[in-house]
Structure 1
Amino acid sequence: MTGVAPLLDLSSRDPRTPSTPRPGPVRLGADRLVEDPRLLAGAERLGLVTNDAARTAADVERLSRTALLEAGIPIVRLFSPEHGLNATAPDGAAVPGGTDPVTGLPVVSLYGERMRPAPESLEGLDGVIVDLPDVGTRCYTYGWTMTHVIDVCAEKGLPVWILDRPNPLSGALAAVEGPILEPAHRSFIGRHTIPLRHGLTLGELARLWQRECRPTAHVHVIACEGWRRDQLWPETGLPFVPTSPAIRRFEAALLYPGLCLFEATNLSVGRGTETPFEAVGAPWLDADAVAERLVARRLPGVVVTTDAFTPEADPYAGQRCAAVRFTVQDPTLVRPVALGLALLADIAALHPGAFAWMRYPTAANPTGAGHLERLTGTATIRDVISTVPESVDAATIAAWTAADGWAERAGAVLLYT
């Protein structure tokens, strides 16, 4: 289906530009282009990488591609990432191309038989626009789809324009969490050596990719206005539009960098419930014992409780699961990767006969092998949790989540203060 996704988490404050106060919500790169098509420097035939989660700030019920076309932007071809143009396809499922029922434009899938544009799919284009939401997490695939587009456009000498959007988890470098991906574990869910919670916008990630990986690319970022790096999504004044089927709320996006690690285990992250990525469960889980351990760790910014859910998706589809739930109390303090690693270690320590690592087949990794290493970017975490999970203390987690050298690398591409 195409249609408008439900809107959640309405809130409003007065964000500021880096230099000048500005009332009202943040303006997105898409809004700026709608208001001034001259930012595209005379291109006459363009491709657009987007999905239904990309809306305008001026009207969050409005698809950005519709607004761009109505403003006269000469888009002639669409490209869709994982989850498809309607942002509703299941995680990891191949998505076909087709025709957009909203605009009538042809749609080329970039998550199916191919994960990067075929050179012929760019024939006749003067460049490509990328307008996608993101959740500030290395293993979320939209940013890597963008880098594949940059690569192929660079090979053909075509420019790429990124319509930037705020990082929902903020751009605060003090809140960044590793591990930084090790080169041996590069994959479609991690093409470059960046932290798991990286603190960049997609526009900044594009600039980093150009600087460190593809210096011949012609990358232009149409930046947001009115966003500060320290602002989380609720402070933008914009509602949170679900970016994919399981990231329905800002709280899920915030917890995702840590709870996504459970996709490599035999626990459910609540897919097919109302609040995926806000709880973890299994029929065999001793939720009270796990919660007790987590409370003793004094994890900042969250309240840990026990719960139960019945997921519609595997693992345990249709089965009642005991669960540990996380309620965000102060999002500025939450460190989701540290939380996820602590939860992995505590569950493994308490359930040595039941806890197991699992393969996670996707269109990008059909065998599903090595999924935890692809998520974390290292083999160390699996090795330790598999053998001595009770040894995982605060110091261990601090070492795993360190992002040494990242502030200096990121500093070269930042667009916002």
Structure 2
Amino acid sequence: MKNETVRDRAVTVEEALKLLSGLSLPPVRDETLPIEDSYGRVLAEDVYSNENLPGFRRSTMDGYAVHAPDTFGASEGMPVYLRITGTIKMGFPAHIKISPGEAAEVPTGGMLPEGSDAVVMYEHTNRVGDDLIEVLRPVAPGENIVREDEDIREGQLVLKRGHRLRAHDVGALAGLGITRIRVYRRPLVSIISTGDEIVPPHQPIRHGQVRDINSYNLHGLITENGGIALKLGIIKDEYAVLKSVLSEAIEKSDMVLITGGSSVGTRDFAHRVIEELGSPGILFHRVTIKPGKPLIGGMVKDVPVFGLPGHPVAVTVCFENFVLPLLRRLTGELIREYLPDRRTVRARLTHNLSSPVGREDHIRVRVEENNGTLLAVPILGKSGLITTLVEADGVVVIPQHSSGLYEGDEVEVRLF
């Protein structure tokens, strides 16, 4: 008897992810960009500081720069008197030098003069003359100031290769005087919509036809996760046409997504085309997940190729669970497995949910609040109904080995 392989049966979610994670992907190319164009991009190099930040000792409060030991023992009943030697201007070097028994007026962010090691806040002083203050509370050395290298030290590793740049990361680069940075190129993901019944959104439809939802949904998902989406149009259910379009897409893309060609049917050619275009071809066809069971995962000439189901909800579930992990690798992002890969909230389920053992179910839910408690309200409906996604805030996953969840159970909601 022929031994069964994963190509002959529906694989579990874990098996599919293991097959995909084991794929050897080509090196990610990089480019150099101005930092203002690098938001959300992934660093292609380690970034070290060439200088200290802020680079000089500065005040964190409006007040008086002082020699801290001069204030020891100060109180409202027995203040310490200090002579004002001058005022530090914002944005200019501090040319004043203070000696014991002296102070200099300094604004928040201003440079500390030589001889000072702390700042007394205005609120803890009284001005008793043109050049004299009384200090009502002592300060310790280093209080209310930032050292010249307290933020970043010269030679310090600031950001690691593989890090996805956030707004404050770009701000740190600007603060260090770094205006251009090497980042990985965004992967190009081609989208092929298939089906004789699919028509463009601008076109009037007749009975039996549906407008193209999936390519627009995928375009958004790809873009918001660091890729460049390229829609290659709507392909009719003709084997030769699909093979030609897919072959061209593989040559110019880092990943290819086919929608509508993965269900069992005489006019669904995606499986056959992927298998014939190159090794290793099909990795799996069918996954024990709902929605999304007909999913195809494959690899052709070092390019991952997915055959996604035709229903919009199934497309989203398959993208989030199977396409996205590979897309993140193609962006060059260093994945830290110990961090959650999506936002989640804990909520109480409002209804019982049953599920057959052996299948992982993804249930759309809306999150509501009642008397301080978050509730997960299931939005039930077939996977072809886009409104079940529009009305949902996320999904609750019923594990493969569970027979369901009960009303009142605390569940994790994976937010969209």
Return the TM-score normalized by structure 1: 0.25
The structure with the greater share of residues assigned to strand is 2
Q: RCO higher in 1 or 2 (8 Å CA, sep ≥ 6)?
A: 1
Higher Cα Rg, which structure: 2
Return the TM-score normalized by structure 2: 0.25
